[in-house]
């Protein structure tokens, strides 16, 4: 069986029209890939809001943040032969890549985990400075001893790296800068220290030799990382043949640390799989899904801004149930539930 999740009947739980843009000149194109956490007795999403500037006829306009943190617009003529606009997510002009949208992170809270609303007391997070001039994306949230660690993708013309901000109250944030330099993303911290050390899953890309693989690193303080080890590679002919990356913080189970990750093919079909890591030494892989545990099969997962995508970087765990929040078609936020036991049972066949 290749899809063992139960999709929520309210899906999509958030669509672009549900929120107001950050500025009157912007349009929300996508709501996707939320980080998830519990705080003040509520469930919170840190949703990625991808916006684009209003388009002009015959042109493609892309937004970037300038040094003052304001959005600036760059226009390209659609007929210009130097322009490659074949990917909805990123265009290339004269060998330079530009994102078609710019993302910030917005906080929404809920009592039931299904209906979410903004709380004006909790401000959005925006890209700041030269390493976030194309925005910030896909934030994982790890609550480590009451200090929430936000690991997110920093995007700029310098490349794609992993940023860290920490907070205890979601109003004041400590900015810790870039913790994994380009090209790197999909960074999920373990929510507790193991043998006194912080652990992180991350995904560097090595296009010439190697590939887009999941690595693990350790740190004495959550800031400075070393002892990097590659723990999961792409597999030819499988759902994760082209790239793979960690989802949210691993879940502690009796059998080991359970990580739900995404894997994609060369055709950009994104599925989810599971990987089980040793409880005392998470650089040791115990088992990994042979088949995906979730595939893009619902209509809203197949059609949208970038179709055939299910992508997760946030969940809550209640007993045996994982409430998985995910981006569908890079356009909607959706919810599905899974049984931890069922994932582990399936993984036992893949040891
Ligand atoms: C990227 C990710 C996500 C996105 C997927 C699918 O690799 O970082 O932002 O959801 O691609 O487009």
Residue having the nearest C-alpha atom to atom 1 of ligand 1? 311
Which atom of ligand 1 is least distant from the CA of 185? 8
Q: Containing domain of residue 214, as a range?
A: 6-350
Q: Which of 41, 39, 49 is nearest to 332 (CA)?
A: 49
Query: What are 119's two structure tokens?
Result: 């709380």
Nearest atom of ligand 1 to the alpha carbon of 330: 10
Looking at the domain assignment, is residue 263 inside a domain? yes
pLDDT for the residue 218: 98
Pocket test for ligand 1, best of 87, 151, 214, 330 (most atoms within 8 A of CB): 330
With the most atoms of ligand 1 within 8 angstroms of its CB, the residue from 97, 182, 311 to mutate is: 311
pLDDT value for 240: 98
Pocket test for ligand 1, best of 205, 270, 313, 333 (most atoms within 8 A of CB): 270
Q: So what's the pLDDT on residue 231?
A: 98
In a domain, 1, yes or no: no
Q: How many CA atoms lie within 13 A of 78 on its CB side?
A: 8
**pTM for this model (two decimals):** 0.95
Q: Is residue 268 part of a domain?
A: yes
Q: Is residue 26 part of a domain?
A: yes
Close Cβ partners of 299 (under 8 Å, ≥ 6 residues apart): none
300 CB less than 6 Å from ligand 1?
A: no
Confidence (pLDDT) at 153: 98
Residue 115 lies in a domain: yes
How far does Cα 61 stand from its chain's mean position?
25
* Residue 252 covered by a domain: yes
* Cα 161 to ligand 1 centroid, rounded to whole Å: 14
| 120-175 pLDDT tens trace | 999 999 999 999 999 999 999 999 999 999 999 999 989 999 999 999 999 999 99
Here the CATH number for the domain that contains residue 247 is 2.115.10.20
User: Which atom of ligand 1 is least distant from the CA of 186?
Assistant: 8
Render pLDDT for 9-36 as a digit per residue (tens, 0 to 9): 999 999 999 999 998 889 999 999 999 9
- Ranges of residues in the chain whose predicted pLDDT is under 50: none
Residue 331 near ligand 1, beta carbon < 6 Å:
no
Q: What pLDDT digit, counting tens, does each position of 60-77 carry? A: 999 888 877 788 889 999
Q: Which token pair is 45?
A: 């999403």
Q: How many domains does the chain have?
A: 1
């Amino acid at each position: 069986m290749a899809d063992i999740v139960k999709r929520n009947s309210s899906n999509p739980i958030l669509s672009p029209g549900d929120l107001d843009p950050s500025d009157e000149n912007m349009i929300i194109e996508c709501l996707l890939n939320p980080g998830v956490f519990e705080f003040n007795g509520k469930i919170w999403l840190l949703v990625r809001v991808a916006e684009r500037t209003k388009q002009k006829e015959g042109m493609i306009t892309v937004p970037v943040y300038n040094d003052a943190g304001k959005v600036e617009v760059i226009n390209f003529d659609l007929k210009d032969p130097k322009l490659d606009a074949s990917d909805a997510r990123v265009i290339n002009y004269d060998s330079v890549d530009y994102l078609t949208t710019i993302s910030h992170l917005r906080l929404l809270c809920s009592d039931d985990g299904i209906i979410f609303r903004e709380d004006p007391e909790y401000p959005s997070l925006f890209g700041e400075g030269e390493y976030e001039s194309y925005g910030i994306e896909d934030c994982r949230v790890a609550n480590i001893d009451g200090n929430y660690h936000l690991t997110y993708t920093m995007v700029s013309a310098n490349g794609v790296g992993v940023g860290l901000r920490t907070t205890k109250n979601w109003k004041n944030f400590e900015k810790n800068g870039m913790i994994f330099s380009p090209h790197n993303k999909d960074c999920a911290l373990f929510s507790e220290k193991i043998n006194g050390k912080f652990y992180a899953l991350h995904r560097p890309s090595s296009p010439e030799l190697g590939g887009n693989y999941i690595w693990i690193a350790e740190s004495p303080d959550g800031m400075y990382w070393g002892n990097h080890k590659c723990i999961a590679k792409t597999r030819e002919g499988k759902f994760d043949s082209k790239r793979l990356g960690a989802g949210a913080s691993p879940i502690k189970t009796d059998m080991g640390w359970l990580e739900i990750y995404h894997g994609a093919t060369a055709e950009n079909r994104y599925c989810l799989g599971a990987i089980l890591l040793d409880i005392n030494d998470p650089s040791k892989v115990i088992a990994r899904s042979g088949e995906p545990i979730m595939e893009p099969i619902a209509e809203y997962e197949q059609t949208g801004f970038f179709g055939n995508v299910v992508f997760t970087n946030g969940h809550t765990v209640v007993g045996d149930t994982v409430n998985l929040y995910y981006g569908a078609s890079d356009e909607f936020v959706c919810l599905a539930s899974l049984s931890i036991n069922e994932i582990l049972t399936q993984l036992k066949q893949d040891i």
